[in-house]
Structure 1
Amino acid sequence: MITFNRSRHAAFGGGLFADPAWDLLLQIFLADLSHSELSEDRLLGSIDVPNSVAVRWLTSLSERGDVEFDRVGGQPLVRLSKRGRNAMEQLFDQSPESPCC
């Protein structure tokens, strides 16, 4: 799905399909599925929006209880909360094109 989003962006340009919250959730979910730690810096560099926009969305997702932050060795890590993981799993379980679970 991330590859599709990038292809869509390449075909039509930026801004037309701007959905930073979804892009952030997808990146965090993929890291979670692969049992990888995801630093905030790496996450911010992985989506095509200014860092200030991504940080605002991350703050919003955190306030909603969908993501959480942890510090390991001074590096802020981003993870799905239990609520966020459950929501993503339910969403993809309902999709016939589900890449997971």
Structure 2
Amino acid sequence: MNNSDAVFVEVDDFCQTFLPAWEKHLISSGIKHRNKPFRLSVSEVMTMVIDFHQSSYRYFKTYYIHFIYRYLTNEFPELVSYTRILKLMQGILVPLCSYLTYR
């Protein structure tokens, strides 16, 4: 198991607990949120962001297009365009910050 796999397993385990609790909090507080499912899971997007920051790539766009698209299509079979991943990254801010605080 490489480092990315280990990060994904840990992030996914965290998301299994965190996301339902966060969803429940949003509903109880009356905050409206989108319920459209991602093609990529929250865990996958968070793993990409964490892995990018642990990589030697300077820019996320280069990392996504030249590394993820080139070498990790088997690990992420539902890859989306670069502009779409930027939109998805906006939706993982709270789970990502919570995970990093938890760690």
- The TM-score, its normalising length taken from structure 1, stands at 0.38
Higher relative contact order (CA 8 A, sep 6+): 2
Structure with higher helix content: 2
- The TM-score, its normalising length taken from structure 2, stands at 0.38
Structure with higher strand content: 1
